[in-house]
Amino acid sequence: MNSEPLKLKDLRGHVVLIEFWTFGCINCRYILPSVKSWHDRYRDKGLTIIGVHSPEFDEERDIEKLRRQVVSLGIRYPVVSDNDYQIWKAYEVEAWPTIFLLDKQGRIRWMRCW
């Protein structure tokens, strides 16, 4: 959502922040203003933020509900729906929200889980 499909290999040369979240998570809502601010302040300096929506509850799997939430929450950076948890598992995420910061070569340089 909010962009053409992205592939990390195509983002080499950019710093990438990957945010694992779900719209029903209160802690995700608490950090959202910071993530949106980083997007606004640093996107023109090479930071790419990607929201990975991995649902916790069945109602969060509905793509149309997710689209409405993305608009309602004012999220302007790319968001991918991870209903099957493929991305979640690839990064070995354990909780919402979790943020990864990747360097320009695609290496994980920082991770924070709340």
Mean pLDDT by 10 residues, the chain (114 residues): 89 96 97 98 96 97 98 98 98 98 96 94
pTM of the model: 0.95
Contact (CB, 8 A) for 49 and 38: yes
Q: Identify whether 17 is part of a domain.
A: no
pLDDT given at position 39: 98
The pairing of strands 108-113 and 15-21 is: unpaired
Q: Identify whether 71 is part of a domain.
A: yes
Q: Identify whether 15 is part of a domain.
A: no
Q: Identify whether 48 is part of a domain.
A: yes
pLDDT given at position 42: 97
Domain residues for 73? 22-113
Domain at 69, CATH number: 3.40.30.10
Number of domains in the chain: 1
